[in-house]
Amino acid sequence: MVVPSGAVPLPRGSTVKALHRHGKQLVVESARNGCLLVHLGMSGSLRLVHGSDPRSDDRHVHAEWRFDLPDGSELRLLHRDPRRFGWLEAHEHLHSVRRAWADRLGPDALTLEGPWLHGVLQRTRRAVKTVLLDQAVIAGIGNIYADEALFRAGVHPLRPARQVKLRECVALARAIRQVLQGAVEKGGSTIRDHRTADGAWGSFQRMHKVYGKAGLPCTRCRTSLRGVRLQQRATVFCATCQPRRPRGLPGAVDGS
Ligand SMILES: [Zn+2]
């Protein structure tokens, strides 16, 4: 957790003006211009707890803010981070947050369009999944959702990015948007300890087609799903539905 010395991200007595998000980073903006930038890391969370909630679990809480509600009760915002991969940053103004985002992060994954993605993938020899996970290229895709989107688009995760055709990029961009939107609506995927801000379990894991399912039959073709490691991350795919060297792509419009 990094908070620059002397900085006060949410000054005492201030009110929350707005919440912002880009990729996996969140910002709480106070009415006095102070901004708290939160990166949740691998298993970090922000949780809202009523002051009187007996179920409140304060283990792994690294930072806490207290808010007075109009009805006189108290709300606590807890930053929990069991694996300590997350961090906090204080910014004086939202525009300095936006500058940091522009320097560090690619466009938000929910805004992806196929032709833009194709242009980006054309410029690298890296595996397509590696590029999808690179937050400096595209912000917001995690390991689970990369695997799920690649399966839905029929793209092998280890294919050299520059070989992925425009038509496939259109399908991949659409799959990324749909998978992420679906995950947001279902409160995320609770594999181990993920919870939503109000403490509920996510349920998108029930929609997973490949993640965590190596060795099980593909839902489309019944071939056993394969599991490999890519940059220390579990990667699951169907070698039939996501061929490593696709033969002929009817309708490909880029002619390559
Ligand atoms: Zn399959």
User: CA–CA separation, 221 vs 243, rounded Å?
Assistant: 13
CATH of the domain at 209: 1.10.8.50
Q: How far apart are the CA of 203 and the centre of ligand 1, in A? A: 23
When mean pLDDT is compared across 28-37, 99-108, 123-132, 220-229, the lowest value belongs to 28-37
The answer to the question of residue 248 being in a domain is no
Q: How far apart are the CA of 220 and the centre of ligand 1, in A? A: 5
Helix (H) or strand (E) holding 74: strand 74-80
Output 17 or 43, whichever has higher pLDDT. 17
Residues 6+ apart with CB under 8 A from 168: 153, 154, 155, 249
pLDDT at residue 95, as a whole number: 92
User: CA–CA separation, 159 vs 59, rounded Å?
Assistant: 42
CA distances 112 to 90, 152, 173, 184, Å, are 29, 16, 6, 16
Q: Using the predicted structure, report yes or no on whether residue 5 has a pLDDT greater than 80.
A: no
Q: Using the predicted structure, report yes or no on whether residue 254 has a pLDDT greater than 50.
A: no
- Predicted TM-score (pTM) of the model is 0.83
Q: How far apart are the CA of 225 and the centre of ligand 1, in A? A: 7
CA end-to-end distance (rounded Å), the chain: 47
The answer to the question of residue 118 being in a domain is yes
pLDDT at residue 66, as a whole number: 85
Nearest to 193 by CA among 31, 20, 35, 42: 42
Q: How far apart are the CA of 242 and the centre of ligand 1, in A? A: 7
Do residues 232 and 130 both lie within one domain? yes
Place of tokens 């179920």: 55
Task: Name the residue range of residue 115's domain.
Answer: 109-237
